[in-house]
Copies of this chain bind each other. A is one copy, B any other.
């Protein structure tokens, strides 16, 4: 951030506002405090006949690697709606959300990744514009070494480890070693 998006001034000060406890960009001309918050990234772990839907990325970062269909939550969406939309965009799969599966924090890059377990509503799938190919994989077929992101790997590992348990909990993870 170089300029105040409210008044256009370049006199931005990085300081802790009165009553706050974190440094923010504060405009010295109009007083606007510019907050930066983590972004939510949402997607689905689509299960069909004991296989899971993966997409091979046609975009950077991690072009050519595999991921669960996942992307940034948009303004005006519920988390479930965002996950369903991303699954359509990347894999042309129409799904219904079953439950919240995992929440994975990436505090060093200010992203929170949320995956739902979802079921196919129609049987067809097809690569969307951001995917090179899409397919269903059994546990032994998952390209573990070619997964694009640790958060998606986390979601897949927790799913396969626990899928036979009756208690369907939501799994919490993060990329840092701090304990919470």
Chain A interface residues toward B at CB < 8 A: 1-8, 10, 19, 21-22, 34-40, 72-81, 84, 89, 97, 99-100, 103, 105, 107-108, 110, 112, 114, 129, 166-170, 172, 174, 176, 178, 180
User: How far is A73 from B36 in the complex, measured between Cα atoms in Å?
Assistant: 10
Could you list 10 A-B pairs, sorted by A, with CB under 8 Å?
A: A1-B5, A3-B7, A3-B8, A5-B34, A37-B39, A40-B40, A40-B112, A78-B107, A78-B180, A80-B105
A89: nearest chain-B partner, CB-CB: B21
Number of this chain's copies in the complex: 2
Residues of B within 8 A of A170 (CB): 99-100, 169-170
Which A-B residue pairs are the 6 nearest by beta carbons? A78-B105, A3-B8, A80-B180, A170-B170, A5-B5, A100-B170
Which residue of A6, A77, A78, A89 has the most chain B CB atoms within 10 A of its CB atom? A78
Q: Assess the A22–B167 pair: CB atoms within 8 A.
A: no
Residues of B within 8 A of A34 (CB): 5
